[in-house]
Amino acid sequence: MTYLSASEDFLTTTVASLPGAWGKLHYLSELRTEDGDYDHWGLTRLHGKAAVQRALREAHREVFLEILRTPLGRLLDDASLSAADQELDALSYFSQLSARRQALLPPNLAGGLEAHFSSVLKALSKLAQARSSATRRAA
């Protein structure tokens, strides 16, 4: 029997099942407690608290950096899927993400910048607004 590390277990069973980078980032941010630790009962039970903390911090950082490296068009399409999954339009979805901006940031930005992330959210909000306006005019 092959055993997975906490990181491999989390990435292959949980993260892989989540829709898009925004869905992954949102989920990871929801696992953080007020004291900054991550809370995932099942993984902790299997792998122990220290291993799970490392795995979730690493996953959070990697998803955050993936978002910063992805072209805006792909991020907008990705967000549209995540928004639809929550029965929202993209503009409302970005409004919610912007309101939770601080919570979405991983503890270690690993070279990413909070200002870069904020500018990505602002640009995508503007693009979603323009797309929404164009759709209303066409209808």
**pLDDT over threshold 60, residue 139:** no
Residue 48 Ramachandran class (φ > 0 left, ψ -120 to 50 alpha, else beta): left
Q: How confident is the model at residue 82 (pLDDT cuts 50, 70, 90)?
A: confident
- In eight-state DSSP terms, residue 2 is P
**How many whole angstroms separate alpha carbon 19 and alpha carbon 22?**
8
Model pLDDT for residues 88-114, shown as the tens digit of each residue = 988 899 999 999 999 999 999 999 999
Q: How many CA atoms lie within 13 A of 100 on its CB side?
A: 17
- Label residue 20 left, alpha or beta by phi (over 0 means left) and psi (-120 to 50 means alpha): left
Q: Which residue do the tokens 């999954």 mark?
A: 85
Tell me the C-alpha distance between 37 and 32, whole Å.
6
Cβ atoms < 10 Å from Cβ of 73: 10
Whole-model pTM? 0.88
DSSP letter for each residue of 69-107: HS-HHHHHHHHHHHHHHTT--HHHHHHHHHHTHHHHS-S
Mean pLDDT within 3-28: 89
pLDDT in tens, 38-80: 999 999 999 999 999 999 999 999 999 999 999 999 999 999 8
